[in-house]
């Protein structure tokens, strides 16, 4: 979860207002109108989607009026027609902040994304609102594919990930928030983002652009990760609805990670982990004894060379594969600090917290950018809360 201002949680569940700031930037500087003021968009609708399964984790889709006020008595069409237009897709970016307005007027501001503008659509006659769509900064790295396969080796896998990002965006900030690292023996990849993703998975880390546009390399959550927020209904809570879906599709409760095959060996070095928590809905074991069954996923990570590395990777991959048997789609008061893969607690009956509290992992959510918009959160149940 992104750090939020003091008092944010209390304001969220109390009466509050909403303000959203969407400033336009280009070449590392805010775009300004002729009078020197920063171009800040009057958003009439739209949302930000955060999805752990997408290479560019954050995406934005907003609507703005057909004309933007550029001065006291002047305006310009919002729909871009030239590369230099304010909302063109030639390097222009949106930097968006989401602010709760407390009862005393205090603004509690949270950054929610730095987006490359990818498209604009609307009436050339100015008869309709203009729709602007964009994606977070991972997209620049995804687009910068290799022209030929490349081989990398380094005492530090993190160093390779950082190099691959900075080759595309030399001025990007890359925050390394993990101590996990290892030597990478010569390994060949055909694609830049594939190399980053596979290295990250083998190190049990995640790589993404945070709400300020900074690239972050940090640990993947595990089944033991502590929750960052509690959703609950009624007074003092933010949960409005929880629609439950049950499915076995895509659920694995045992993961085997196969690393390299040592010289002279006939099989790859393999680490295995499984869901051992009897309170988990995907507890590994004989279904005749009340367990979920035995569903195994095998993942190949040739850059891993030791059993310890394979075992660690299996544990983190397991956390991303279990829990799908029970998923919740939440309708809740928008919390702008939430991040994909955050672990949260969900309580469906405040009168029976211990009995109904479950631990979930956030798969995706949609953050509204106008008052009254629905904040939907999709999660996966990863086990009972045992320390409430």
pLDDT at 388: 46
pLDDT at 327: 66
- Are 32 and 114 a contacting pair, CB within 8 Å? no
Angstrom distance (rounded) from CA 30 to CA 135: 18
Residue numbers of the chain with a pLDDT score lower than 50: 388
Q: pLDDT tens, 244-299?
A: 777 787 789 999 999 888 877 878 889 999 999 888 888 999 999 999 999 999 98
User: Please, which residues bridge with residue 97 across strands?
Assistant: 21, 111
Helices (H), 8-104: 8-12
Q: How far is CA 126 from CA 4, 66, 75, 188, 311, in A?
A: 39, 5, 12, 51, 59
Any idea what DSSP says for residue 35?
T
Fold assignment, 142-219: Phage tail protein beta-alpha-beta fold (3.55.50)
Angstrom distance (rounded) from CA 309 to CA 291: 28
Taking the CA atoms of residue 31, residue 98, residue 338 and residue 143 in that order, the dihedral angle to the nearest 10 degrees is -20
Angstrom distance (rounded) from CA 283 to CA 263: 36
Longest dimension (CA), the chain: 79
Map out the domains of the chain as residue ranges.
Answer: 8-135, 142-219, 230-247+326-384, 254-321
Q: Strand 184-189 vs strand 150-154: parallel, antiparallel, or unpaired?
A: antiparallel
pLDDT at 351: 66
């Amino acid at each position: 979860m992104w750090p939020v201002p003091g008092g944010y949680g209390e304001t969220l569940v109390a009466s509050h207002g909403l303000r959203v700031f969407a400033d336009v930037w280009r070449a590392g500087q805010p775009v300004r109108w002729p009078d020197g003021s920063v171009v800040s968009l009057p958003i009439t609708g739209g949302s930000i989607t955060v999805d752990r399964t997408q290479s560019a984790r954050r995406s934005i889709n907003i609507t703005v009026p057909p004309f933007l006020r550029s001065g006291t008595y002047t305006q310009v069409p919002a729909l871009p027609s030239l590369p230099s237009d304010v909302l063109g897709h030639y390097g222009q970016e949106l930097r968006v902040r989401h602010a709760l307005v407390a009862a005393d007027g205090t603004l509690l501001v949270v950054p929610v994304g730095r987006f490359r503008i990818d498209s604009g659509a609307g009436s050339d006659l100015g008869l309709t609102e203009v729709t602007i769509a964009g994606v977070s900064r991972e997209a620049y790295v995804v687009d910068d594919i290799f022209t030929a396969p490349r081989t990398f080796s380094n005492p530090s896998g993190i160093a390779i990930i950082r190099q691959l990002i900075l080759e595309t965006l030399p001025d990007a900030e890359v925050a390394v928030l993990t101590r996990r690292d290892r030597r990478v023996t010569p390994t060949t990849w055909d694609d830049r983002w594939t190399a980053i993703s596979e290295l990250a998975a083998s190190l049990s880390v995640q790589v993404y652009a945070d709400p300020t546009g900074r690239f972050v390399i940090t640990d993947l959550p595990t089944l033991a990760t502590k929750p960052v927020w509690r959703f609950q209904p009624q007074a003092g809570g933010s949960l409005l609805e929880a629609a439950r879906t049950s499915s076995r599709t895509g659920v694995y409760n045992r993961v085997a990670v196969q690393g390299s095959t040592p010289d002279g060996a006939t099989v790859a070095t393999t680490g295995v982990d499984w869901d051992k928590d009897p309170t988990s809905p995907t507890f590994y074991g004989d279904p005749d004894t009340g367990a979920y069954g035995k569903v195994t996923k095998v993942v190949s990570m040739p850059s891993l060379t030791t059993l310890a590395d394979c075992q660690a990777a299996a544990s983190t991959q397991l956390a991303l594969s279990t829990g799908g048997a029970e998923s919740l789609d939440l309708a809740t008061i928008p919390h702008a600090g939430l991040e994909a893969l955050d672990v949260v607690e969900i309580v469906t009956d405040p009168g029976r917290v211990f009995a109904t509290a479950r631990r979930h992992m956030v798969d995706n959510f949609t953050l509204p950018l106008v008052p009254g918009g629905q904040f939907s959160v999709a999660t996966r149940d990863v086990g009972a809360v045992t320390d409430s």
